[in-house]
Structure 1
């Protein structure tokens, strides 16, 4: 899943080397925390959050059931 997130975000940003994806696993959920260079934050979020929403939609769809756990994507600034 980390690879998928990086693959989606890399073409959107000017500093792809600053992309970081961390994973936190809890009892009933998995949270992926995405951080990018501060200059790229607007590109990842998009106007009115449209790009962020699209990224989340793809990740949630790809996750499927993920072993019965709910998947979340947080964009860290």
Structure 2
């Protein structure tokens, strides 16, 4: 899972104007004996629009990549942009 958080960080740093302000935290929750992974992506306030993209397309693309990985790992992964 650490590699997925690193992937999100790599993508985010490539998109934003302030790559040094990008932070990624990984949290694991257990609900009904099933793990749920939450990746918190924290970016500068001025860069949120670049991460979300027009009509949320960039954020949706990142979430799609995570969804593919989640299926392969038989788990759930959520991306939280802060």
TM-score range, shorter chain: 0.7 to 0.9
1:38 corresponds to 2:45: yes
C-alpha separation in 1, matches of 2:11 and 2:68: 14
Comparing 14-23 with 54-63, greater Cα deviation is found at 54-63
- TM-score w.r.t. the length of structure 1 is 0.87
Structure 2 unaligned segments of length 5 or more: list them.
Answer: none
1:19 corresponds to 2:22: yes
Normalized per residue, the structure richer in helix is: 2
Structure 1 unaligned segments of length 5 or more: list them.
Answer: none
Aligned residues: 75
By relative contact order (CA 8 Å, sep 6+), the higher-ranking structure is 1
